[in-house]
Amino acid sequence: MKRDILGMIRRGLRKPPHVIAARLAAELAAESERLVAPKLARSFGTRALLRALGKNSIDQLWHDLGDRPFPLPQSVSWSAVVPEDERREILSRADKAVGRRVALLGSGDVELGRPIDWHTDFKTGHRWPPAFHRSIEYNNPERPSDVKVPWELSRLQWLMPAGQAYLLTGEERYAEAVRSVLEEWIEANPYALSVNWACTMEAALRILVWTWFFHVFKDSRAWDDEEFRGRFLASLYLHGRFTERHLEKSDVNGNHYTADAAGLVFAGLFFGQGRGPHRWLDLGWRILCDELPKQVTADGVDYEASVPYHRLVAELFLLPAHYRMLAGHDVTPAYRKRVVAMGRFTAAYTREAGTVPLLGDADDARALPLGTQPINDHRYLVGLIGEIFSDDSLRGRAGGPMGEVRWLLGPQAAERLETYPAATRGSEAFAEGGVYVMANPRDHVFVDCGPIGLAGRGGHGHNDCLSFEAVLDGVHLVSDAGAYLYTASYEERNRFRATASHNTPQIDGEEINRFIRPDYLWNLHYDAVPDVRLWQPGETSDKLVAGHAGYQRLAHPVRPVRSYELEHANHTLTIEDSFEEDVAATHLVEVPLLLAPGVEAEVAGAGKVLLRAAGRNFHVTWYDPQEWTLSLEEGRVSPSYGVVVPAVRLLWRRQGRLCPFRMTLAPAG
């Protein structure tokens, strides 16, 4: 990666001495691999692997590993328990995978060919040449390219349906196809010497997938070859070694460090014996236990301020714990309680239709995807956590397709959740995480009143304090913009995380949290410190009042304060913005409202907009139409990474002294 050396030094010197010392030691250790990596890539094969694990033969090792527990239910007649619609979808995806056709990160269908080019962003054609991973420049602001494409391709999660198809049908062609792809990957990506080693998280996530492949295909004829078995296991072992030596640790950590730790736990439990695996298991689990209370609030919200990353991080904390329990290791009550809290937050933000608010960043990342549900359906996660930790409150809130539960925990767990009495949806506050959900069986209003993310660093959080999404009377009306892209376009990255892309007031065209530099894609100044003043849920209505300090830095400071009220019986949401501090000064105030894709809008008179969606009509009314001007603009929503769809954006403006603004959304008639 191309490095801003002076910038790194300046930022590093602001950190505590022990952090600086640890970082220097880690840098020296990582750099020492420049000499070691080429030798390991050439020489670490079957003999070295057997010595490391204390085994006499690959055949003995293979069978010993196959007898170890793993999160894949055994003795299951999959063809008898998988519903027909799920079976058809799995087989369809498996045939595409076997045919080397993928659709990743908004690419549309792509033919990979033979052999696969693992080092190219096939969306733009940019290719990263083979080199030591620390020498590779993978952020390229001067040209369009997205390193996430080869990384996502190399995770091989797109190939997992072929494994499920093998379990459903027993057809060897699936085992042959997966073996062929793995052989190509190993050949093209020597240890630490390609772009697919440039991020430790990528190696760690491959550990999860490769160990799953092993337990799926361990008895297949196509994998009954000593040379292939040796190469596969040696490469997998080196993934564990690499992850341990290149941990993505800082003074404040996020999902990358968590993924590294999850990969170490999987590698340690998978191999089971030898000093390396024992060390990986202990280190990975210590990291997870240490990071869980740091990264996840007591009320269960991942502090990276992103709903999609909350899902990923929950999986990364959950799956290693489940694997440990299967292997006979303990998981403390405190760890269980915190992950269960993550499940409760997931249940609260997930809507009845199986969609979620697009809060913060999203790159479609998963830990071990096994279901066929849409990417933004998180309901399975509630059931997984409830079943693994035997929590009845979560079992009653699970829903949607049960493929994830069935493939990870077995058909009985899926049946139990499908027949469990459903809990009634209600309003919930996650005060420590800064999220408030006003809800009933027909309405769902999700409000972000939390900190910027990653302990005030920015991370995967956006400039969205006081922003909201809304479903009223079962119809999704108001949406966040999502994230769209990362390094593929710095301009789009910054546009989608900017204040103007969120449903929150903007003053004088300024960001609520200042950008540091256009190329600081995951950092922001923490200006918009939230101030929640009232949370009053009730039988007839819910009320929330909150403000933030994002505009205290202006020459004439302003504090936006927003009140929300949801009336349950008539599905009416009223939002009122007031502005405190220097009320006599002149400001430009803009209040946006981004409608969900598919919602149509037209002005229906002074102070009224008619919305049409799902065959229904709704009204947006506002006060005072004499003081505020309204424009209907073209907006955009990114429902998943690399995908953007058009939407209508309403924008109210007022130049002058500050005055309140009130809008009401309600069913028409």
Place of tokens 């008895």: 219
Sheet with 643-657, edge to edge strand ranges? 506-507, 586-594, 643-657, 629-640
Strand-pairing partners, residue 140, are none
Residue 532: exposure state from Cβ atoms within 10 A (0-12, 13-18, ≥19): middle
pLDDT tier at 9 (50, 70, 90 boundaries)? low
331, amino acid identity: V
Q: Which of 1-10, 23-32, 581-590 has the highest mean pLDDT?
A: 581-590
Decide: 339 and 412 in contact? Cβ < 8 Å. no
pLDDT tier at 2 (50, 70, 90 boundaries)? very low
The string of DSSP codes covering 555-585 is SS-EEEEEEEEEETTTTEEEEEEEEEE-TTS
648, amino acid identity: V
Which pLDDT belongs to residue 510?
98
Percent of the chain at pLDDT > 70 equals: 97
Decide: 198 and 138 in contact? Cβ < 8 Å. yes
The answer to whether the Cα torsion of 319, 321, 322, 324 is positive or negative is positive
The string of DSSP codes covering 437-476 is EEE-SS-EEEEE-S-SSTTTTBTT--S-TT-EEEEETTEE
Which pLDDT belongs to residue 3?
44
Query: What is the rounded distance in angstroms from the CA atom of residue 172 to the CA atom of residue 217?
Result: 9
DSSP letter at 296? B
On the question of pLDDT at 194 being above 80, the answer is: yes
Q: Which two tokens stand for residue 350?
A: 């997930």
- Residue range 463-499, pLDDT digits in tens: 999 999 999 999 999 999 999 999 999 999 999 999 9
Q: Which two tokens stand for residue 118?
A: 């693992």
Decide: 594 and 480 in contact? Cβ < 8 Å. yes
Which pLDDT belongs to residue 28?
80
On the question of pLDDT at 31 being above 90, the answer is: no
In sequence order, the 6+-apart residues with CB closer than 8 A to the CB of 535 are 429, 431, 436, 543, 544
On the question of pLDDT at 558 being above 80, the answer is: yes
Which pLDDT belongs to residue 438?
98
Mean pLDDT value across the chain: 95
Catalogue the long-range contacts made by 87-92 (C-beta closer than 8 Å, 24 or more residues apart): 87/168, 89/372, 90/161, 90/164, 90/165, 90/168, 90/372, 91/161, 91/165, 91/168, 91/169
Taking CA atoms, 365 is separated from 103, 112, 243, in Å, by 14, 21, 18
Residue 196: exposure state from Cβ atoms within 10 A (0-12, 13-18, ≥19): buried
Give the residue-averaged pLDDT of 135-164. Answer: 92
Query: What is the rounded distance in angstroms from the CA atom of residue 411 to the CA atom of residue 405?
Result: 8
On the question of pLDDT at 457 being above 50, the answer is: yes
Decide: 18 and 251 in contact? Cβ < 8 Å. no
Which pLDDT belongs to residue 20?
77
Decide: 265 and 280 in contact? Cβ < 8 Å. yes
Which pLDDT belongs to residue 6?
54
On the question of pLDDT at 32 being above 90, the answer is: no
Place of tokens 């403390």: 332
Give the distance, in angstroms, between the CA of residue 654 and the centroid of all CA atoms in the same chain.
37
Of the given ranges (28-32, 95-99, 268-272, 636-640), which has the lowest mean pLDDT? 28-32
Output phi, psi for 450, to 5 deg. Answer: -105, 175
Predicted model pTM:
0.95
Which pLDDT belongs to residue 141?
72
The answer to whether the Cα torsion of 375, 376, 382, 383 is positive or negative is negative
Q: Which of 1-5, 142-146, 170-174 has the highest mean pLDDT?
A: 170-174
Which pLDDT belongs to residue 144?
80
Taking CA atoms, 498 is separated from 493, 530, 532, in Å, by 9, 17, 22
Beta strands in 134-275 (DSSP E): none
Residue 585: exposure state from Cβ atoms within 10 A (0-12, 13-18, ≥19): middle
Give the distance, in angstroms, between the CA of residue 41 and the centroid of all CA atoms in the same chain.
32
Query: What is the rounded distance in angstroms from the CA atom of residue 165 to the CA atom of residue 92?
Result: 9
Query: What is the rounded distance in angstroms from the CA atom of residue 81 to the CA atom of residue 593?
Result: 45
Query: What is the rounded distance in angstroms from the CA atom of residue 74 to the CA atom of residue 125?
Result: 43
Measured CA angle at 98 (ends 95, 102), to 5 deg: 85
Give the residue-averaged pLDDT of 11-28. Answer: 72
CB neighbour burial string for 236-267, b if at least 16 within 10 angstroms, e if fewer: bbbbbbbbbbbbbbbeebbbbbbbbbbbbbbb
CB atoms within 10 A of CB 517: 10
